[in-house]
Structure 1
């Protein structure tokens, strides 16, 4: 991630039941440059809100 100058990657789990294209729900992993990872599942709107919330909670953004 550092080599590509990335702070985060959001990876969609297209193998999870009920996730991916053509569904109302999704499962993703949020990977951070510090090595932490969080997994979120829910409606696509809920997942997006949780991802943004996690990113905005990062100390380096302040």
Structure 2
């Protein structure tokens, strides 16, 4: 039986309420225009500290921090 990953259904990730995830904003326009997915709230932080690891970054960057409702 040959399973092709392209034809199998994709499993969506399920997040518990209160889950926080962060990702770097890569400059596709103004960060204030970002709209979070349904069921999430978001804020933008300009920081030189990595929001997950706490390590110093070489320069400040915008991060999108989302929280599951």
TM-score (norm 2): 0.23
Structure with greater contact order relative to length (CA < 8 Å, sep ≥ 6): 2
Larger Rg: 2
Q: Which has the higher strand share?
A: 2
Which structure has greater helix proportion? 1
